[in-house]
Structure 1
Amino acid sequence: MARQQEQDDIVKEGSFLSIISDGSTDVSSKEAEIVYVRTSVRCQVSTLFIGVKNVPKADGEHISTAISNLMTERFQETWKEKLVAMGTDGASVMLGKTSGVVKRIKDMTSRPVYAIHCSAHRIELAYKDAIKGTKIWQRCDALMLNIYLFYKYSPLNRANLKASFESPNMKMLLSTRVGGTRWVPHHERALKNVLHGHAAIVRHLEQMQAPGEARKDSSAKARNFFKALKDKHTLFGFILCLMLFKA
């Protein structure tokens, strides 16, 4: 409660505020909206977590109502007098000109509210647009996803991969998912993990091809992954994509 009171005092003292909002789903697959507030007091910028609210439906009406209710519960009606901007992703449900969330919030406040498209989201969209149709990226992306799934759903494969890492005393870094999130840093981490563990992964995949080491279907997958990871064009693709992230 002390922390909440401190946040309320900051918002009360600030002469303006902006709302940052994004959608998600909880463990029960229910839609939810998370809300932050950003304000400044004597040139000290603060970003404050306000809360999470479940929404019956992820449309403009329900999301804007959830945001409004969260803000009003904390700050009564005063937040409407200070709101100057909203930061969201670029989805039409958020930025739609006629019935988007920002438009609905603007109508509630009867004052100018500037819509700010999340810079991280814009970078992601620009990156995806730049590599769209690039075969080398599509090949590397699909390979990383398949390797991730190959180890994620097999405790035996993970255990044997761990042993492959331990034999040369390497730190084990598991392959991470590249298709489950849109953010560029997760793609970069997936690339780094595959390159870091390349030798250990290749060693384990080679072992799986020995007679009696794995089921036929697993052995066939291991053979395909092994061949792809040993291909110099694949390695070049991994390194090139990682360089693009660092550019």
Structure 2
Amino acid sequence: MQKTAFCKMVKLFDIAYHIAKHEKPFAYYPSLVKLEKRHGVDLEDAYINPKQARVFTQYLAEQIHLEVSKQVLSSRYISVLVDGSTDRSTTEKEVLYVKYLHKDGVPRMAFVGTEDIESATADGILHCIRSLLFSKGIPNWTDHLVGFGAYGASVNFGCRQGIYTKLKMDMPWLIGIHCLTHRLELACKNAFQGTYFNQEIDGFLSFYTSFYRGSGKRRRELDRLAELLDESVLTPTRVDGTRWVDHRRRALKALETNIPAVIAHLSEVGSDQR
């Protein structure tokens, strides 16, 4: 490739990286290219569609993963950190990070990727970890593994069949670290046991969430009343879950926004039942 064409392509890759870095839709790519041209930047006339931006981003991701793999392979000590997640289709996935010592002696954190889980057991998650690391060019990760981090579910830290227990059988030096934020969540949950919040407010939040999430008819009635009152309505969020603080914060935020419409709807429901 000629030097002038190469420079133009580098700029297009840079625009694609900017969009991915700021989590914007690829549909923004053509308009950003046109804006740069309007500013006098010399760019190619081809490769200015959203599909090409996606291709550029895939090439960039492969290069970034390659650099991370090289750094992890050159590190004497690494730790793996895992957590469960779901995508937009509610498919269960495992998220994997690697913490390693850089050549300058400073610890770095690197995102490795996500993988579908066939079975949410210790063996199933271990298979995901091995598959992800092998696909990123890190097959001998157990030779340098010194730490394992995850939240404190039995599948991770069970004394008989947990992931940490299975890894420690082959690596007796391995250190297991219970996720600090999850421990804080559990501490907050225990601190609120027996309090007014736990007995009254938490109970009402659970009732309120199930009342609307479990019935499309009630949700439509709530939306109709909110429209009449010129109010906005947020979807009631679940209260239960491992993220005790965040789930209740979001549930309270939704209730605060919805309270005028909720009061009007519950009053209407109560009058109909008399």
TM-score, scaled to structure 1 = 0.69
- 2:168 corresponds to which of 106, 109, 113: 106
- 2:248 corresponds to which of 187, 193, 197: 187
Counterparts of 1:226-245 in structure 2, within 5 Å, are none
Question: Residue 238 of structure 1 corresponds to which residue in structure 2?
Answer: none
- Runs of at least 5 residues in structure 1 that lack an aligned partner in the other structure: 212-218, 221-247
Is the CA contact 1:8–1:75 (under 8 Å) kept in the aligned structure 2?
yes
- 1:118 corresponds to which of 176, 179, 182: 179
- 1:89 corresponds to which of 132, 137, 151: 151
Q: Does 1:22 align with 2:93?
A: no
Is the CA contact 2:65–2:112 (under 8 Å) kept in the aligned structure 1?
no
What is the CA–CA distance in structure 1 between the aligned matches of 2:87 and 2:229, rounded to whole Å?
Answer: 40
Tell me whether 63-72 or 85-94 shows the greater mean CA deviation: 63-72
What amino acid is aligned across from residue 112 of structure 2 in structure 1? F
Secondary structure of the 1:209 match is helix
What is the CA–CA distance in structure 2 between the aligned matches of 1:99 and 1:33, rounded to whole Å?
Answer: 18
Please list the CA deviations of residues 120-157 of structure 1 after superposition, one character each: whole Å capped at 9, or x if unmatched.
21011111211223354232222212222222233332
Question: Residue 175 of structure 1 corresponds to which residue in structure 2?
Answer: 236
Following superposition, the deviation at residue 4 of structure 1 comes to 2.9
Secondary structure of the 1:197 match is helix
Tell me whether 183-192 or 87-96 shows the greater mean CA deviation: 87-96
Please list the CA deviations of residues 154-206 of structure 1 after superposition, one character each: whole Å capped at 9, or x if unmatched.
33322221233334433322321102454421111101221232222101211
Following superposition, the deviation at residue 40 of structure 1 comes to 4.4
Secondary structure of the 1:45 match is strand
Counterparts of 1:3-42 in structure 2, within 5 Å, are 3-23=64-84, 33-41=94-102, 42=104
How large is the RMSD of aligned CA atoms in angstroms?
3.2
Identical positions, percent? 30
Question: Residue 215 of structure 2 corresponds to which residue in structure 1?
Answer: 154
What is the CA–CA distance in structure 2 between the aligned matches of 1:5 and 1:163, rounded to whole Å?
Answer: 53
- 2:117 corresponds to which of 44, 54, 75: 54
Higher RCO (Cα < 8 Å, 6 or more apart): 1
Tell me whether 188-197 or 132-141 shows the greater mean CA deviation: 132-141
Question: Residue 235 of structure 1 corresponds to which residue in structure 2?
Answer: none
Question: Residue 58 of structure 2 corresponds to which residue in structure 1?
Answer: none
Q: Does 1:145 align with 2:199?
A: no
Following superposition, the deviation at residue 104 of structure 1 comes to 2.3
Is the CA contact 1:31–1:56 (under 8 Å) kept in the aligned structure 2?
no
Following superposition, the deviation at residue 69 of structure 1 comes to 4.4
Instruction: Work out which of the two has the higher radius of gyration on C-alpha atoms and give 1 or 2.
Output: 2
TM-score, scaled to structure 2 = 0.63
Q: Does 1:164 align with 2:222?
A: no
What is the CA–CA distance in structure 2 between the aligned matches of 1:145 and 1:166, rounded to whole Å?
Answer: 25
- 2:129 corresponds to which of 31, 50, 67: 67
Tell me whether 14-23 or 184-193 shows the greater mean CA deviation: 14-23
Matched residue count: 211
Tell me whether 112-121 or 160-169 shows the greater mean CA deviation: 160-169
Question: Residue 227 of structure 1 corresponds to which residue in structure 2?
Answer: none
Is the CA contact 1:68–1:105 (under 8 Å) kept in the aligned structure 2?
no
Following superposition, the deviation at residue 29 of structure 1 comes to 9.3
